[in-house]
Structure 1
Amino acid sequence: MTATNQFNTKTEMARRHIRSMILAGKIGPGDRITTNEMSQALGISETPIREALRWMASEGWLDIQNHVGAVVKGLELDQISEISALRGQICGLGIELGAAFFDAERKALIDRNIEAYRRALDAQDYVQVAELNYEFHDLLCDTPRSRWCRRLLDNMHGLMSAQRYGLVPQHDRLEKALQEHKSIRDMIRAGDFGAAAVLAEQHEKNTGEFLIKLLNEKAAQAGGNG
Protein backbone atom coordinates (compact mmCIF):
# COMPACT_ATOMS: atom_id res chain seq x y z
CA MET A 1 0.00 0.00 0.00
CA THR A 2 1.38 3.40 -0.94
CA ALA A 3 1.81 6.26 1.53
CA THR A 4 -1.01 8.15 -0.19
CA ASN A 5 -3.39 5.19 0.14
CA GLN A 6 -2.43 4.76 3.80
CA PHE A 7 -3.19 8.44 4.43
CA ASN A 8 -6.55 8.16 2.67
CA THR A 9 -7.40 5.02 4.65
CA LYS A 10 -6.58 6.69 7.97
CA THR A 11 -8.56 9.78 6.97
CA GLU A 12 -11.59 7.63 6.15
CA MET A 13 -11.17 5.69 9.42
CA ALA A 14 -11.20 8.97 11.36
CA ARG A 15 -14.20 10.23 9.39
CA ARG A 16 -16.19 7.07 10.09
CA HIS A 17 -15.28 7.13 13.78
CA ILE A 18 -16.37 10.75 14.24
CA ARG A 19 -19.55 10.20 12.24
CA SER A 20 -20.44 7.13 14.33
CA MET A 21 -19.98 9.17 17.52
CA ILE A 22 -22.39 11.80 16.22
CA LEU A 23 -24.91 9.23 15.00
CA ALA A 24 -24.76 7.45 18.36
CA GLY A 25 -25.44 10.74 20.14
CA LYS A 26 -22.10 10.61 22.00
CA ILE A 27 -21.34 14.14 20.80
CA GLY A 28 -23.90 16.74 19.72
CA PRO A 29 -24.30 20.30 18.44
CA GLY A 30 -21.80 22.66 20.02
CA ASP A 31 -19.46 19.91 21.20
CA ARG A 32 -15.82 20.39 20.24
CA ILE A 33 -13.71 17.71 18.56
CA THR A 34 -9.97 17.93 19.09
CA THR A 35 -7.38 16.30 16.88
CA ASN A 36 -5.37 15.29 19.96
CA GLU A 37 -8.26 13.34 21.50
CA MET A 38 -9.05 11.64 18.19
CA SER A 39 -5.38 10.82 17.66
CA GLN A 40 -5.20 9.10 21.04
CA ALA A 41 -8.50 7.29 20.54
CA LEU A 42 -7.59 5.94 17.10
CA GLY A 43 -3.85 5.56 17.47
CA ILE A 44 -3.03 7.58 14.36
CA SER A 45 -1.34 10.91 13.74
CA GLU A 46 -3.24 14.19 13.78
CA THR A 47 -2.65 14.92 10.06
CA PRO A 48 -5.28 12.51 8.63
CA ILE A 49 -7.65 13.55 11.43
CA ARG A 50 -7.38 17.19 10.38
CA GLU A 51 -8.19 16.14 6.82
CA ALA A 52 -11.18 14.12 8.07
CA LEU A 53 -12.44 17.16 10.01
CA ARG A 54 -12.18 19.37 6.91
CA TRP A 55 -13.99 16.72 4.88
CA MET A 56 -16.78 16.44 7.42
CA ALA A 57 -17.11 20.23 7.59
CA SER A 58 -17.70 20.23 3.81
CA GLU A 59 -20.41 17.57 4.32
CA GLY A 60 -22.23 19.64 6.93
CA TRP A 61 -21.38 17.60 10.02
CA LEU A 62 -18.97 20.10 11.54
CA ASP A 63 -18.22 23.80 11.70
CA ILE A 64 -14.57 24.88 11.71
CA GLN A 65 -14.29 27.98 13.94
CA ASN A 66 -11.27 30.25 14.40
CA HIS A 67 -9.50 29.78 17.75
CA VAL A 68 -11.93 26.96 18.62
CA GLY A 69 -11.48 24.23 16.03
CA ALA A 70 -14.03 21.68 14.88
CA VAL A 71 -17.47 21.90 16.49
CA VAL A 72 -20.48 19.67 15.80
CA LYS A 73 -22.88 21.74 13.74
CA GLY A 74 -26.52 22.48 14.56
CA LEU A 75 -29.33 24.01 12.50
CA GLU A 76 -32.34 26.29 12.80
CA LEU A 77 -35.70 24.65 12.14
CA ASP A 78 -36.36 26.60 8.94
CA GLN A 79 -33.00 25.43 7.62
CA ILE A 80 -34.05 21.82 8.17
CA SER A 81 -37.14 22.41 6.02
CA GLU A 82 -35.01 23.90 3.27
CA ILE A 83 -32.40 21.15 3.39
CA SER A 84 -34.95 18.32 3.38
CA ALA A 85 -36.67 19.89 0.35
CA LEU A 86 -33.34 20.26 -1.44
CA ARG A 87 -32.32 16.70 -0.62
CA GLY A 88 -35.60 15.41 -2.00
CA GLN A 89 -35.26 17.29 -5.27
CA ILE A 90 -31.61 16.32 -5.69
CA CYS A 91 -32.28 12.66 -4.91
CA GLY A 92 -35.23 12.62 -7.30
CA LEU A 93 -33.12 14.19 -10.03
CA GLY A 94 -30.36 11.66 -9.37
CA ILE A 95 -32.79 8.79 -9.85
CA GLU A 96 -34.07 10.16 -13.14
CA LEU A 97 -30.63 11.06 -14.49
CA GLY A 98 -29.23 7.66 -13.56
CA ALA A 99 -32.21 5.62 -14.76
CA ALA A 100 -30.16 3.71 -17.36
CA PHE A 101 -27.77 2.51 -14.64
CA PHE A 102 -30.33 0.74 -12.48
CA ASP A 103 -29.31 -2.66 -13.81
CA ALA A 104 -29.82 -6.03 -12.15
CA GLU A 105 -26.70 -5.62 -10.03
CA ARG A 106 -27.72 -2.23 -8.64
CA LYS A 107 -31.26 -3.45 -7.97
CA ALA A 108 -29.83 -6.44 -6.10
CA LEU A 109 -27.66 -4.12 -3.99
CA ILE A 110 -30.74 -2.05 -3.14
CA ASP A 111 -32.61 -5.22 -2.17
CA ARG A 112 -29.75 -6.32 0.10
CA ASN A 113 -29.60 -2.87 1.65
CA ILE A 114 -33.30 -2.99 2.48
CA GLU A 115 -32.95 -6.49 3.95
CA ALA A 116 -29.98 -5.40 6.09
CA TYR A 117 -31.94 -2.32 7.24
CA ARG A 118 -34.76 -4.65 8.30
CA ARG A 119 -32.41 -6.82 10.34
CA ALA A 120 -30.68 -3.83 11.95
CA LEU A 121 -34.02 -2.25 12.84
CA ASP A 122 -35.30 -5.48 14.36
CA ALA A 123 -32.10 -5.65 16.43
CA GLN A 124 -32.54 -1.96 17.40
CA ASP A 125 -29.04 -1.27 16.06
CA TYR A 126 -29.78 2.34 15.21
CA VAL A 127 -26.21 3.27 14.33
CA GLN A 128 -26.24 0.53 11.68
CA VAL A 129 -29.67 1.70 10.51
CA ALA A 130 -28.23 5.19 10.00
CA GLU A 131 -25.32 3.78 7.98
CA LEU A 132 -27.67 1.71 5.82
CA ASN A 133 -29.90 4.72 5.27
CA TYR A 134 -26.88 6.62 3.96
CA GLU A 135 -25.98 3.67 1.72
CA PHE A 136 -29.51 3.49 0.32
CA HIS A 137 -29.46 7.10 -0.86
CA ASP A 138 -25.95 6.60 -2.18
CA LEU A 139 -27.16 3.68 -4.29
CA LEU A 140 -29.88 5.90 -5.75
CA CYS A 141 -27.47 8.60 -6.89
CA ASP A 142 -24.08 6.99 -7.37
CA THR A 143 -24.14 6.74 -11.18
CA PRO A 144 -21.94 8.24 -13.92
CA ARG A 145 -24.77 10.63 -14.82
CA SER A 146 -25.63 11.82 -11.34
CA ARG A 147 -22.27 12.41 -9.69
CA TRP A 148 -23.07 15.98 -8.68
CA CYS A 149 -26.35 14.83 -7.15
CA ARG A 150 -24.45 12.34 -5.05
CA ARG A 151 -21.87 14.93 -4.03
CA LEU A 152 -24.52 17.44 -3.00
CA LEU A 153 -26.42 14.80 -1.02
CA ASP A 154 -23.18 13.87 0.76
CA ASN A 155 -22.68 17.51 1.68
CA MET A 156 -26.10 17.61 3.35
CA HIS A 157 -26.20 14.10 4.80
CA GLY A 158 -24.84 15.04 8.19
CA LEU A 159 -27.42 17.76 8.70
CA MET A 160 -30.45 15.44 8.77
CA SER A 161 -29.45 12.99 11.50
CA ALA A 162 -31.76 12.99 14.53
CA GLN A 163 -29.04 11.53 16.77
CA ARG A 164 -26.74 14.48 16.16
CA TYR A 165 -29.33 16.69 17.89
CA GLY A 166 -29.33 14.48 20.97
CA LEU A 167 -32.63 12.88 19.97
CA VAL A 168 -33.39 9.27 20.75
CA PRO A 169 -33.95 7.21 17.57
CA GLN A 170 -37.66 6.83 16.89
CA HIS A 171 -38.36 3.23 15.95
CA ASP A 172 -41.77 3.97 14.41
CA ARG A 173 -40.37 6.65 12.10
CA LEU A 174 -37.47 4.39 11.08
CA GLU A 175 -40.02 1.68 10.29
CA LYS A 176 -41.97 4.10 8.09
CA ALA A 177 -38.75 5.21 6.43
CA LEU A 178 -38.02 1.59 5.55
CA GLN A 179 -41.45 1.28 3.94
CA GLU A 180 -40.72 4.46 1.97
CA HIS A 181 -37.43 2.95 0.80
CA LYS A 182 -39.31 -0.14 -0.35
CA SER A 183 -41.81 1.97 -2.29
CA ILE A 184 -38.98 3.81 -4.06
CA ARG A 185 -37.33 0.45 -4.83
CA ASP A 186 -40.57 -0.96 -6.19
CA MET A 187 -41.04 1.95 -8.59
CA ILE A 188 -37.45 1.57 -9.80
CA ARG A 189 -38.02 -2.14 -10.38
CA ALA A 190 -41.18 -1.26 -12.31
CA GLY A 191 -39.16 1.13 -14.49
CA ASP A 192 -41.20 4.14 -13.36
CA PHE A 193 -38.33 6.45 -12.46
CA GLY A 194 -40.52 9.55 -12.42
CA ALA A 195 -42.70 8.00 -9.72
CA ALA A 196 -39.60 6.87 -7.81
CA ALA A 197 -38.30 10.45 -7.92
CA VAL A 198 -41.59 11.80 -6.53
CA LEU A 199 -41.48 9.24 -3.72
CA ALA A 200 -37.88 10.19 -2.91
CA GLU A 201 -38.90 13.86 -2.63
CA GLN A 202 -41.76 12.96 -0.30
CA HIS A 203 -39.49 10.70 1.73
CA GLU A 204 -37.07 13.54 2.42
CA LYS A 205 -39.94 15.91 3.23
CA ASN A 206 -41.32 13.37 5.72
CA THR A 207 -37.89 13.06 7.34
CA GLY A 208 -37.51 16.83 7.68
CA GLU A 209 -40.99 17.32 9.11
CA PHE A 210 -40.48 14.54 11.65
CA LEU A 211 -37.12 15.95 12.74
CA ILE A 212 -38.65 19.40 13.23
CA LYS A 213 -41.48 17.85 15.27
CA LEU A 214 -38.98 16.11 17.56
CA LEU A 215 -36.92 19.26 18.01
CA ASN A 216 -40.03 21.30 18.85
CA GLU A 217 -41.03 18.71 21.43
CA LYS A 218 -37.51 18.74 22.90
CA ALA A 219 -37.58 22.55 23.13
CA ALA A 220 -41.01 22.46 24.79
CA GLN A 221 -39.80 19.92 27.36
CA ALA A 222 -36.71 22.03 28.07
CA GLY A 223 -38.91 25.08 28.54
CA GLY A 224 -41.21 23.19 30.88
CA ASN A 225 -38.30 21.99 32.97
CA GLY A 226 -36.69 25.45 33.08
Structure 2
Amino acid sequence: MTRTACFLLVVAFALVSGGCATTPATPETLATAEVRGTAPADLKAQLGDAGFADLWNVDVTWSPIDDAVGYEVQRHDSSQADDLWSTVSEDTLSSEATSATDRYVGYDATLWYRVRAVLDASNATPWSSSWRVEIPKGDVLYEVEGTAASASITMSTASGTEQADIDLPLTTKSGEVGLCLTNPIQHPYISAQNKGRTGTVTCRITVRGVVESENTSSGAYAIATCSS
Protein backbone atom coordinates (compact mmCIF):
# COMPACT_ATOMS: atom_id res chain seq x y z
CA MET A 1 0.00 0.00 0.00
CA THR A 2 1.08 3.59 -0.54
CA ARG A 3 0.29 6.46 1.78
CA THR A 4 -2.06 9.11 0.52
CA ALA A 5 -0.54 12.52 -0.18
CA CYS A 6 -2.46 15.79 -0.54
CA PHE A 7 -1.47 17.99 -3.45
CA LEU A 8 -2.56 21.58 -3.95
CA LEU A 9 -2.65 22.84 -7.53
CA VAL A 10 -0.98 26.23 -7.76
CA VAL A 11 -2.41 28.37 -10.52
CA ALA A 12 -0.93 31.67 -11.66
CA PHE A 13 -3.58 34.36 -11.84
CA ALA A 14 -4.08 38.12 -11.96
CA LEU A 15 -6.93 40.16 -10.52
CA VAL A 16 -7.87 43.11 -12.68
CA SER A 17 -10.21 45.74 -11.28
CA GLY A 18 -12.60 47.40 -13.70
CA GLY A 19 -13.00 51.12 -14.25
CA CYS A 20 -15.80 53.33 -12.92
CA ALA A 21 -17.74 55.95 -14.80
CA THR A 22 -17.48 58.47 -11.97
CA THR A 23 -15.26 58.83 -8.92
CA PRO A 24 -17.12 59.77 -5.70
CA ALA A 25 -15.74 62.19 -3.17
CA THR A 26 -13.38 60.49 -0.74
CA PRO A 27 -12.03 61.64 2.66
CA GLU A 28 -8.29 62.28 2.38
CA THR A 29 -7.55 59.70 5.05
CA LEU A 30 -9.62 57.55 7.38
CA ALA A 31 -8.20 59.43 10.35
CA THR A 32 -9.22 62.93 9.14
CA ALA A 33 -12.80 62.12 8.08
CA GLU A 34 -15.36 63.66 10.45
CA VAL A 35 -18.05 61.28 11.68
CA ARG A 36 -21.75 62.10 11.41
CA GLY A 37 -25.03 60.43 10.52
CA THR A 38 -25.93 56.77 10.90
CA ALA A 39 -23.90 53.76 9.80
CA PRO A 40 -25.22 51.52 7.01
CA ALA A 41 -27.48 48.77 8.34
CA ASP A 42 -28.04 45.10 7.54
CA LEU A 43 -24.37 44.28 7.00
CA LYS A 44 -23.71 40.67 6.02
CA ALA A 45 -20.59 38.87 4.87
CA GLN A 46 -20.77 35.40 3.36
CA LEU A 47 -18.08 33.04 2.16
CA GLY A 48 -18.47 32.28 -1.53
CA ASP A 49 -16.79 29.64 -3.66
CA ALA A 50 -13.06 29.11 -3.51
CA GLY A 51 -11.21 30.53 -6.48
CA PHE A 52 -7.78 29.48 -7.68
CA ALA A 53 -5.70 27.48 -5.18
CA ASP A 54 -6.26 29.14 -1.78
CA LEU A 55 -8.12 32.24 -3.03
CA TRP A 56 -11.51 32.79 -1.37
CA ASN A 57 -14.31 35.17 -2.35
CA VAL A 58 -16.18 36.88 0.50
CA ASP A 59 -19.37 38.67 -0.50
CA VAL A 60 -20.22 41.71 1.66
CA THR A 61 -23.66 43.38 1.44
CA TRP A 62 -25.43 46.27 3.24
CA SER A 63 -28.44 48.60 3.02
CA PRO A 64 -27.85 51.99 1.32
CA ILE A 65 -27.76 55.41 2.97
CA ASP A 66 -29.83 58.13 1.24
CA ASP A 67 -27.22 60.90 1.25
CA ALA A 68 -24.14 58.73 0.67
CA VAL A 69 -21.77 59.58 -2.17
CA GLY A 70 -19.83 56.36 -1.71
CA TYR A 71 -18.95 53.48 0.62
CA GLU A 72 -15.82 52.04 2.20
CA VAL A 73 -15.48 48.39 3.25
CA GLN A 74 -12.78 47.10 5.60
CA ARG A 75 -11.59 43.68 6.77
CA HIS A 76 -9.95 42.64 10.05
CA ASP A 77 -7.97 39.40 10.42
CA SER A 78 -8.23 38.07 13.98
CA SER A 79 -4.60 36.95 13.82
CA GLN A 80 -3.56 40.64 13.73
CA ALA A 81 -3.78 43.48 16.23
CA ASP A 82 -7.33 44.35 17.30
CA ASP A 83 -7.20 47.86 15.83
CA LEU A 84 -5.71 46.84 12.47
CA TRP A 85 -8.22 47.01 9.61
CA SER A 86 -7.46 46.93 5.89
CA THR A 87 -9.53 48.43 3.09
CA VAL A 88 -11.16 45.84 0.84
CA SER A 89 -11.31 48.02 -2.28
CA GLU A 90 -8.64 50.52 -3.33
CA ASP A 91 -11.22 53.12 -4.40
CA THR A 92 -14.36 54.30 -2.65
CA LEU A 93 -17.37 52.39 -3.96
CA SER A 94 -20.07 54.35 -5.80
CA SER A 95 -23.16 55.81 -4.11
CA GLU A 96 -25.32 53.09 -5.66
CA ALA A 97 -23.19 50.26 -4.30
CA THR A 98 -24.77 47.82 -1.85
CA SER A 99 -22.20 45.04 -2.12
CA ALA A 100 -18.49 44.31 -2.51
CA THR A 101 -16.42 41.17 -2.99
CA ASP A 102 -13.24 40.65 -1.00
CA ARG A 103 -10.60 38.23 -2.26
CA TYR A 104 -8.72 36.59 0.60
CA VAL A 105 -5.72 34.29 0.13
CA GLY A 106 -5.14 31.69 2.85
CA TYR A 107 -6.72 29.04 5.05
CA ASP A 108 -7.98 28.65 8.62
CA ALA A 109 -8.73 32.30 9.41
CA THR A 110 -11.40 34.34 11.18
CA LEU A 111 -12.22 37.56 9.35
CA TRP A 112 -14.40 40.51 10.35
CA TYR A 113 -15.97 43.02 7.94
CA ARG A 114 -17.44 46.49 8.39
CA VAL A 115 -18.73 49.28 6.13
CA ARG A 116 -19.33 53.02 6.35
CA ALA A 117 -20.87 55.59 4.03
CA VAL A 118 -18.89 58.52 2.64
CA LEU A 119 -21.01 61.69 2.81
CA ASP A 120 -18.65 64.19 1.16
CA ALA A 121 -14.95 64.98 0.87
CA SER A 122 -14.50 65.37 4.63
CA ASN A 123 -17.38 63.53 6.29
CA ALA A 124 -18.39 59.89 6.75
CA THR A 125 -20.81 57.90 8.90
CA PRO A 126 -19.63 55.76 11.80
CA TRP A 127 -18.50 52.25 10.95
CA SER A 128 -21.23 49.63 10.99
CA SER A 129 -21.25 46.72 13.39
CA SER A 130 -18.90 43.98 12.17
CA TRP A 131 -19.72 40.57 10.66
CA ARG A 132 -17.59 37.45 11.12
CA VAL A 133 -16.57 34.99 8.39
CA GLU A 134 -14.67 31.73 8.95
CA ILE A 135 -12.18 30.64 6.28
CA PRO A 136 -11.92 26.79 6.21
CA LYS A 137 -8.81 24.75 6.83
CA GLY A 138 -6.75 23.40 3.93
CA ASP A 139 -6.29 19.83 2.69
CA VAL A 140 -7.35 17.31 5.32
CA LEU A 141 -6.02 13.72 5.62
CA TYR A 142 -8.04 11.24 7.66
CA GLU A 143 -6.35 8.04 8.85
CA VAL A 144 -7.75 5.11 10.85
CA GLU A 145 -5.56 2.14 11.81
CA GLY A 146 -4.95 -0.31 14.63
CA THR A 147 -4.76 -3.98 15.56
CA ALA A 148 -8.53 -4.44 15.40
CA ALA A 149 -9.82 -6.08 12.24
CA SER A 150 -12.55 -3.56 11.40
CA ALA A 151 -14.25 -0.38 12.56
CA SER A 152 -17.30 1.80 12.01
CA ILE A 153 -16.25 5.35 11.12
CA THR A 154 -18.06 8.68 11.11
CA MET A 155 -16.39 11.71 9.50
CA SER A 156 -17.16 15.23 8.34
CA THR A 157 -16.66 16.11 4.69
CA ALA A 158 -17.45 19.10 2.48
CA SER A 159 -20.84 17.55 1.71
CA GLY A 160 -21.76 16.73 5.33
CA THR A 161 -21.35 13.79 7.73
CA GLU A 162 -20.60 10.35 6.28
CA GLN A 163 -20.51 6.90 7.86
CA ALA A 164 -19.02 3.59 6.74
CA ASP A 165 -17.90 0.19 7.99
CA ILE A 166 -14.29 -0.51 7.01
CA ASP A 167 -11.47 -2.99 7.42
CA LEU A 168 -8.41 -1.50 9.08
CA PRO A 169 -6.49 0.44 8.04
CA LEU A 170 -8.73 2.96 6.24
CA THR A 171 -7.82 2.48 2.60
CA THR A 172 -9.08 4.03 -0.64
CA LYS A 173 -10.29 1.93 -3.57
CA SER A 174 -6.96 2.57 -5.29
CA GLY A 175 -5.07 1.03 -2.35
CA GLU A 176 -3.84 4.24 -0.70
CA VAL A 177 -3.84 4.35 3.09
CA GLY A 178 -5.86 7.25 4.44
CA LEU A 179 -8.49 9.50 2.88
CA CYS A 180 -7.41 12.90 1.57
CA LEU A 181 -10.06 15.63 1.26
CA THR A 182 -8.99 18.34 -1.17
CA ASN A 183 -12.19 20.34 -0.67
CA PRO A 184 -11.51 22.34 2.52
CA ILE A 185 -13.84 21.97 5.52
CA GLN A 186 -14.08 24.17 8.57
CA HIS A 187 -14.17 21.56 11.35
CA PRO A 188 -12.49 18.23 10.45
CA TYR A 189 -13.79 15.34 12.56
CA ILE A 190 -13.53 11.55 12.47
CA SER A 191 -14.43 8.82 14.95
CA ALA A 192 -13.79 5.09 14.71
CA GLN A 193 -15.45 2.35 16.79
CA ASN A 194 -13.91 -1.09 17.09
CA LYS A 195 -16.39 -3.63 15.71
CA GLY A 196 -14.81 -6.48 17.64
CA ARG A 197 -13.99 -7.44 21.23
CA THR A 198 -10.21 -7.08 21.07
CA GLY A 199 -7.60 -4.84 19.50
CA THR A 200 -6.97 -1.12 19.17
CA VAL A 201 -8.26 1.64 16.89
CA THR A 202 -6.34 4.85 16.17
CA CYS A 203 -7.65 7.92 14.36
CA ARG A 204 -5.52 10.77 13.03
CA ILE A 205 -6.22 14.11 11.34
CA THR A 206 -3.48 15.85 9.37
CA VAL A 207 -4.08 19.34 7.98
CA ARG A 208 -1.67 20.68 5.35
CA GLY A 209 0.99 18.19 6.45
CA VAL A 210 0.67 18.84 10.19
CA VAL A 211 -0.89 16.26 12.55
CA GLU A 212 -3.54 18.19 14.49
CA SER A 213 -5.30 15.34 16.32
CA GLU A 214 -4.54 11.69 17.12
CA ASN A 215 -6.19 9.30 19.56
CA THR A 216 -6.12 5.56 20.31
CA SER A 217 -8.65 3.38 22.14
CA SER A 218 -8.51 -0.32 22.92
CA GLY A 219 -10.88 -3.08 23.88
CA ALA A 220 -14.33 -4.26 22.92
CA TYR A 221 -16.22 -1.70 20.83
CA ALA A 222 -13.83 1.05 21.89
CA ILE A 223 -14.22 4.47 20.21
CA ALA A 224 -11.38 6.79 19.15
CA THR A 225 -12.35 10.36 18.26
CA CYS A 226 -10.31 13.09 16.52
CA SER A 227 -11.25 16.69 15.75
CA SER A 228 -9.46 19.82 14.59
Band of TM-score, shorter chain: under 0.3
- The structure with the largest helix share of the pair is 1
- The structure with the largest strand share of the pair is 2
Between structure 1 and structure 2, the one with the greater Rg is: 2
Instruction: Give me the TM-score of the superposition, normalised by structure 1.
Output: 0.24
Larger RCO of the pair (alpha carbons < 8 Å, separation 6+): 1
